[in-house]
A and B are shown apart, each in its own frame.
Chain A
Amino acid sequence: MVRAKIRRSRRGKIPLAAVVLIGTPLGIAPAVAAPQTFNTALPVAEDQFVARGQFLYRKIGDDPTPAGATVNVLSGIAAMGYGVTADLAVFGILPYLDKTLKTMTPDGQHIARGSSGIGDFQIFERYTVYRRDAPGRTFRIAPFVGVKMPTGDDNKQDNLGILPMPLQTGTGSWDPFGGFVMTYQTLNYQFDAQAAYKINTAANNFAFGDEARLDASIQYRLYPRALGNGTPGFFYGVIETNLVHQGKNKTNGASDPNSGGTAFFVSPGVQYVTKRWILEAIVQVPVVQDLNGTALKDDFILRAGFRVNF
């Protein structure tokens, strides 16, 4: 679905810089219990499925130009994990995206452009290379590698022409990524950390800048304070951080000076974990955004969702 609304009569050129956002800090957030904005090293048992649904709302703005551009992204993300063996798990992530840009053209027109539809499918595998178990605690390290496939639409148009790439639901490119994640979990708290890198390749003579990220998460059990018998639900308070750096986008091989940069998010959240399901919510708040040129900045990213074991 594509939409374009012009609130004034005349069409004008839309500054591309106004819609060049930093990266896609949606993170790799598979289905296993733990962080909400990135991966974990916790196991998926052999022949076990873990499904996840997540709602995401991302608000972007703070445009330094007179255009006053804002972008809203609504997304429903479906993820599924499967334990091939106790150490090897495969994950698939498919988003549905709805993006809307509101801006003003140089000649004073207020316009809205956007699109919605299936985004790019990500598939990756994670293999546990180190595991140290003890009573009530575990420490694991797991590298992962995967690829983002061009399943989303990358050539949508509206009556103003083809949409800028950041407004498409897909990138049109095959983008490999990889990294490693470590998890230290006890009965009272859990710590996760991840380093990841994504190579964004070109499609339609356009390439997003490569993305490097460092993520960390601490979860602390707030309830029950004292554990009873059986398998009670755990209510966690969560703080996650994401340091995301993205290179400049390239169009026909030329770098866009108004794209890319570095952002640091601090994200408070909550999570309720039972044996079969999890409910969770988190708000990613940008505390540092050192972006290039006039690239738009994130206001916040809200995530809420569930996970189910079966």
Chain B
Amino acid sequence: MNIVLIASRNLTALILLFLILGTPLNSSLAAEKNTTYAFQADGLACPFCAYGIEKQVLKLKGVVAVNTDVASGKVVITVRKGATLDEAQVDDAVKRAGFTMRAFQKE
């Protein structure tokens, strides 16, 4: 019985500690959130072609993910914290894939 009581008190203490430290920890994580950019890929009209764009954009420094929405032609680029992309380098990557970039923006 005592063992259960002690364990229960320790668990309560752990939860309190987590709640106290948790808020600033979460805020810190939010601050470290990756940056995303987006652009429109004109000329993209099938899934197989999307791979070429993603492969070229993924080669850019700091890029950790590229997601393409074929229906809208929107491509979302995720870069790691601290990394930045400029329009010219993304435009060049999309050209190397054989497509046309439009409406580049930071989200």
Instruction: Tell whether A pairs with B.
Output: yes
List the interface of chain A (C-beta within 8 A of B).
32-33, 42-48, 83, 85-87, 128, 131, 133-138, 185-187, 190, 227-234, 273-276, 278, 307, 309
Which residue of B has the minimal Cβ distance to A229? B69
Contact status of A185 and B45, CB under 8 A, knowing A43-B99, A135-B73, A227-B71: yes
Q: Is the CB of B55 within 8 A of A48?
A: yes
A contact residues around B99 at 8 Å (CB): 43, 133, 138
Contact of A43 among B42, B52, B71 (CB under 8 A): B52
Bound: A228/B68 CA distance, A: 12
Lowest 7 A-B CB distances belong to which pairs? Answer: A43-B98, A45-B52, A133-B43, A227-B71, A138-B43, A33-B48, A86-B98
Q: Is the CB of B45 within 8 A of A276?
A: no
Q: Is the CB of A230 within 8 A of B68?
A: yes
Q: Is the CB of A44 within 8 A of B52?
A: yes
Question: In this assembly, does B21 line the interface, its C-beta being within 8 Å of a C-beta of chain A?
Answer: no
Contact of B49 among A33, A85, A232, A233 (CB under 8 A): A33
Question: In this assembly, does B77 line the interface, its C-beta being within 8 Å of a C-beta of chain A?
Answer: no
Bound: A232/B99 CA distance, A: 20
A contact residues around B67 at 8 Å (CB): 230
Bound: A134/B43 CA distance, A: 5
Contact status of A187 and B71, CB under 8 A, knowing A133-B99, A135-B40, A138-B43: yes
Q: Nearest-CB distance from A101 to chain B (Å)? A: 39
Q: Is the CB of A276 within 8 A of B96?
A: no
Give the total of B residues in contact with A, Cβ under 8 Å: 28
Question: In this assembly, does B50 line the interface, its C-beta being within 8 Å of a C-beta of chain A?
Answer: yes
List CB contacts (< 8 Å) of B48-100 with chain A.
Answer: 48-56, 67-71, 73, 95-100
Residue-wise interface mask of B (22-59) relative to A, using a CB-CB cutoff of 8 A (1 in contact, 0 not): 00000000000000000010111111111111111000
A contacts with B: majority SS: loop
Which residue of B has the minimal Cβ distance to A32? B48
Which residue of B has the minimal Cβ distance to A89? B98
B contact residues around A85 at 8 Å (CB): 96
A contact residues around B68 at 8 Å (CB): 230-231, 275
Q: Nearest-CB distance from A87 to chain B (Å)? A: 7
Contact status of A309 and B48, CB under 8 A, knowing A45-B55, A228-B71, A230-B70: yes
Contact status of A233 and B47, CB under 8 A, knowing A48-B55, A86-B98: yes
Bound: A135/B74 CA distance, A: 10
Contact of A138 among B45, B70, B96, B97 (CB under 8 A): B45
Which residue of B has the minimal Cβ distance to A85? B96
Q: A136-B73, A137-B43, A232-B47 given. 19 additional CB < 8 A pairs?
A: A43-B52, A43-B97, A45-B51, A45-B55, A45-B96, A45-B97, A46-B97, A47-B55, A48-B51, A48-B55, A83-B98, A133-B100, A136-B71, A138-B44, A231-B50, A232-B70, A274-B47, A275-B48, A276-B51
Q: Nearest-CB distance from A3 to chain B (Å)? A: 40
B contact residues around A135 at 8 Å (CB): 40, 42, 73
B contact residues around A133 at 8 Å (CB): 42-43, 99-100
Q: Nearest-CB distance from B72 to chain A (Å)? A: 8
6 residue pairs from A and B, CB less than 8 Å apart: A43-B99, A133-B100, A187-B46, A233-B47, A274-B48, A309-B52
